[in-house]
Amino acid sequence: MSRSAGGFDFYEVDEMICTFPPAAAQEQARHLREHNPDIKSWQVEAFINHEHPTHETTRQGLREAQAFAQELAAALRQAYPKRDFILLRYGFGVIISFFQRTVGAPETNIAPTQPLEEVAYCDHCQEHRHYTISTHTDEEFPWAEWGACRTCDNEMLLRTWEVYEPVALLLGSSSDTEAERHNHALHRTRMRRFLD
Ligand SMILES: [Zn+2]
């Protein structure tokens, strides 16, 4: 069974909804369970479905990842209007995935527990640099922590929380038509290009 929407293809594989065809998805699932017998089904689904729409860990990168997340969310809602999904962002907010909402799986953002490193990568210097941490909450990405490079004053993305967002919340109740305007095959190409 498969469904297509918004340039994405989705496959139903062993209770999962995957962006991989069944044989590849099952192989990945087997591999994950072999290495981590305690892994939960939603974690397997989320891992299989992860995408890197960009590798830019900057504000611009976060915007691109956000646009991709919204396209993916719109496609999921269109393909499976009766199912509930959680969109997941991690890895500096630029790795995007999803899983089916289920009891025991997170639905709200998770703050990092480790202290920040003393240095972080500065996109402008192209080096790890010391930084001055920004103390105000970012309005555009409230789950992102920013600093200013002490060498060049460039904005630096220090880290992000793990972001878990119900698709219904991400899209809002009335944004379907706007999101669906983006339906074309380009996204399919784009998605495959960034697959790991
Ligand atoms: Zn710098």
- Cα of 133 from ligand 1 centre, angstroms: 13
Q: Do residues 79 and 53 both lie within one domain? A: yes
Are 29 and 86 in a shared domain? yes
pLDDT in tens, 173-189: 544 444 444 444 444 44
Residues 120, 55 within the same domain: no
Residues 97 and 123 in one domain: no
pLDDT at 156 over 70: yes
Give this prediction's pTM. 0.84
Domain range for 83:
2-110+162-193
Measure 154 CA to ligand 1 centroid, in angstroms: 5
Question: Ligand 1 centre and the CA of 125: distance in Å?
Answer: 4
CA distance 92 to 160: 5
Q: Are residues 49 and 64 in the same domain?
A: yes
> Number of structural domains, the chain?
2
Shared domain for 117 and 54, answered yes or no, is no
165, 86 contact by CB (below 8 A): yes
